[in-house]
Amino acid sequence: MMQSVTWGQEQMAVRSEIVHCYEQLAACISTMLALARAKEWGQLPELEARCSASVERLKAIQPLASLEPAQRDLVLRLLERICTEQAELSGLIKPQLDDLIRRMDSLNHQKNLGKAYGLAH
């Protein structure tokens, strides 16, 4: 009997951790979106790493427990928010990445011209 109580407690803990991970992921994406809207790009890599850690943790624990109906509803709402905000975030980041790639290509082109004509770089 004691063993089933322990197993049940473990299941409840895993369910709570699943919800917590989704809450962390949603909060992290929201923060990233706010920073991207403000064009404050410096903190995004750190936050993206935290998002990735939450996703990896979810991959490890999620198959172990099925959620209660209220938890499942909360997770579905969080997932909807995450998807919506992630799409907007991607839309804000993509032009910045494209611009960075153009700048790097331009610098590489200048460097190659300098090498070709013997100019110092």
Using one digit for the tens of pLDDT, what is the confidence trace for 18-42? 999 999 999 999 999 999 999 999 9
Instruction: Classify domain 2-116 at the CATH topology level.
Output: Methane Monooxygenase Hydroxylase; Chain G, domain 1 (1.20.58)
Nearest Cα residue to 78 out of 56, 97, 98, 55? 55
Q: Distance from CA of residue 111 to its chain's centroid? A: 35
pLDDT for the residue numbered 84 = 97
Structural domain boundaries in the chain: 2-116
Residues 106 and 100: their CA atoms lie apart, in Å, by: 10
Copy the structure tokens of residue 55.
């996703």
Using one digit for the tens of pLDDT, what is the confidence trace for 60-99? 887 656 888 899 999 999 999 999 999 999 999 998 787 7
Residues 67 and 19: their CA atoms lie apart, in Å, by: 9
Contact between 21 and 78 under an 8 Å Cβ cutoff? The reply is: no
Using one digit for the tens of pLDDT, what is the confidence trace for 50-62? 999 999 999 988 7
Contact between 68 and 52 under an 8 Å Cβ cutoff? The reply is: no
